[in-house]
A = this chain, B = another copy of it.
Amino acid sequence: MKIKVVKVGGAIVEDEAQLQQLISDFSRIEGPKVLVHGGGRRATKIASQLGIESHMVGGRRITDGEMLNVVTMVYGGLVNKHLVAMLQAQGFNAVGLTGADMDIIRSHKRPLKKMVVDGEEKMIDFGFVGDVECANGNTLAMLLNQGIIPVIAPLTHDGQGNILNTNADTMASETAKALAKDNDVTLIYSFEKKGVLSNPDDDDSVIPVITHESFETYKTDGTISGGMLPKIENALAAVDAGVSRVIITLATAIDGNSGTVIKK
């Protein structure tokens, strides 16, 4: 099968107009497809309405028990089911899944991490956060073979009964890698720019293709720098793991026909 795995961020799924556009764009993608979504801002908002403080260390969220309940509600319920109902209205047979459902993505609780906080070295417990162990490509392929669209929320489980909060980008790449064992998979990351830009001040300076080789050149000459580096390193790692291509593109251009293509 030729499969497209599309990751969309929280900002898009939280704005009703952008969401309508997303559903319409996603509907037009031909062939078997998977949607992986975020939802962080809405979780933060609902947590604050519930009087639950969002604890951050080094810019990263700590998921304590109360916050885990919020993300389970918001990602797995509110955002996920809304997307599923909207896809059904377009005539697509979607199913909303967390990693626990059909055991599609298993993880383990992130071990304590050594971090420097306020100049002091500390062991940080990120709480109920899951580092992905494996995605179940066979089960996802079984659904796709039946014309069903998996809509995946950024939650996994540890096989011991615990739901764990998990990075949506990672869920998307692990899903793509698992499906790539037996299929031709394109992984599409939607983004606020048209692609990877050669000139950050020129929105149209999209680099059409990046390979391991050209990435080294772009790194050396400073064309690509900062936060874009790990994004492309992750994309290249997915490609090395068998994903045919990774596309970084505008959220309104998720059909895979524009943006930056990262391939071998």
Contacts and interface: CB of A to CB of B under 8 A. Distances in A.
Interface string A62-102: 00000001001111111011101110110001111110111
Interface in A156-173: 157, 159-163
Contact size range, A = 35 or more
Most B-side CB within 10 Å, residue of A51, A98, A100, A148: A100
A155 interface: yes
Contacts of A257: none
B163 A102 contact: no
Contacts of A157: 84-85, 88
Given A46-B50, A77-B78, A78-B77, A98 B72 contact: no
A163 B81 contact: yes
A220 interface: no
Q: Which of A78, A148, A162, A163 has the most CB of B within 10 A?
A: A78
Contact of A162 (B49, B78, B85, B101): B85
Contacts of A98: 81, 84, 96
A108 to B, nearest CB: 14
B77 A73 contact: yes
Contacts of A96: 76, 98, 100-101
A155 to B, nearest CB: 7
A14 interface: no
A40 to B, nearest CB: 15
Contacts of A75: 77
A235 to B, nearest CB: 29
Interface string A136-170: 00000010001010000001010111110000000
Interface of A: 46, 49-51, 69, 72-78, 80-82, 84-86, 88-89, 93-98, 100-103, 142, 146, 148, 155, 157, 159-163
23 contacts: A49-B50, A49-B51, A72-B82, A74-B77, A76-B76, A76-B80, A76-B96, A77-B78, A81-B163, A84-B98, A84-B157, A85-B100, A85-B162, A86-B161, A88-B103, A88-B159, A89-B159, A89-B161, A94-B100, A94-B102, A95-B97, A95-B102, A96-B101
List the 4 shortest-distance A-B pairs measured between CB atoms, nearest first. A77-B77, A73-B73, A89-B161, A76-B77
